[in-house]
């Protein structure tokens, strides 16, 4: 019984560590290109255009036109 409460207490003590914000001197590490969600935006734009052209659909990814690729 004591062990159960001890484990719960230890887990509860660890939760505030997850709520800390990013310090100003740590932001440079998070701003690197490798950390971006889209590290190659131009290449991904071309790939999406080709994909939606081959699928004969217009994609909702920011360009209009039909499936022929003649936007």
Q: Does a structural domain hold residue 45?
A: yes
pLDDT tier at 6, thresholds 50, 70, 90: very high
Q: Please give the pLDDT value at position 59.
A: 55
Q: Please give the pLDDT value at position 8.
A: 92
Q: Which domain holds residue 47?
A: 1-55
Q: What angle (nearest 5°) sits at the alpha carbon of residue 13, between those of residues 11 and 18? A: 90
Structurally, how many domains does the chain consist of? 1
Q: Does a structural domain hold residue 61?
A: no
Q: Does a structural domain hold residue 25?
A: yes
Q: Does a structural domain hold residue 34?
A: yes
Model's pTM, two decimal places?
0.35
Q: Does a structural domain hold residue 12?
A: yes
The pLDDT tens digits for 10-68 are: 988 888 777 778 888 888 877 877 777 777 888 888 888 888 777 766 555 555 555 56
Spatial separation of the C-alpha atoms in residues 60 and 58, rounded to whole Å? 6
Q: Does a structural domain hold residue 71?
A: no
Q: Does a structural domain hold residue 65?
A: no
Q: Please give the pLDDT value at position 17.
A: 72
Spatial separation of the C-alpha atoms in residues 55 and 4, rounded to whole Å? 56
């Amino acid at each position: 019984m004591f062990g159960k409460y001890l484990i719960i207490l230890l887990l509860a003590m660890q939760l505030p560590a997850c709520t800390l914000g990013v310090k100003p001197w740590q932001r440079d590490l998070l701003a690197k290109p490798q950390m971006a969600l889209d590290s190659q935006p131009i290449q991904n734009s071309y790939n999406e255009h080709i994909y939606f052209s081959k699928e004969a659909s217009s994609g909702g990814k920011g360009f209009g036109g039909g499936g022929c690729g003649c936007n």
